Amino acid sequence: MSVRRPQAAVRRELELLYRSRYPDFVRVATAITESNPGGIDAVQEAFTQALSALGRYRHEAPLEAWVWRIVVNAALAQRRGNREVGQPERLEAASKNGTGPDRSGVRTWIANLPERQRLAVFLRYYADLDYRSIAVTLGVEVGTVSATLNAAHTALRSSLTEVPND
């Protein structure tokens, strides 16, 4: 059981988390929302929600995992909102899951994974979260994270094609 810290200390920790991990939050939220502006909006919304809900943070999980859950939920809500106003369901793969061109097609393959697998991949490889933090973020058991990432790896592996040596 975690020791409950004073709210001022948790607020400072939240601020430090925002400053130190902002690029990671935006990268994952952008991948989920399928747009950079949507990702930025989702992160801003998530931190607004986190500040408002700080009194409800129960200290049962690390603050970062709690915040990641809020960021993922805000990004998913942002994506649903984008679709409701008629934006396309999928943007060009190169702009959605990171920056730069997608010469290898990996981002396209990730985009085609089922949602839980896609979220687990984003959190593991874009945010560098450990399995426990991913489990807290997604609201599942650690074993489920392991199985989900294994299924994602298997699906991605099957998508790979041999590149001929010229």
pLDDT in tens, 147-166: 999 999 999 888 776 445 55
Average pLDDT, the chain: 84
pLDDT in tens, 112-139: 899 999 999 999 999 999 999 999 999 9
Task: Give which of 28, 30, 33 is closest to 85, Cα–Cα.
Answer: 33
Residue found under tokens 């994974």: 113
SS3 98: coil
Structure tokens at 12: 């400072």
pTM of the model: 0.77
**Are 7 and 54 within 8 A, CB to CB?**
yes
Q: Give CA–CA dist 9/57, Å, rounded.
A: 12
pLDDT in tens, 24-55: 999 999 999 989 999 999 999 999 999 999 98
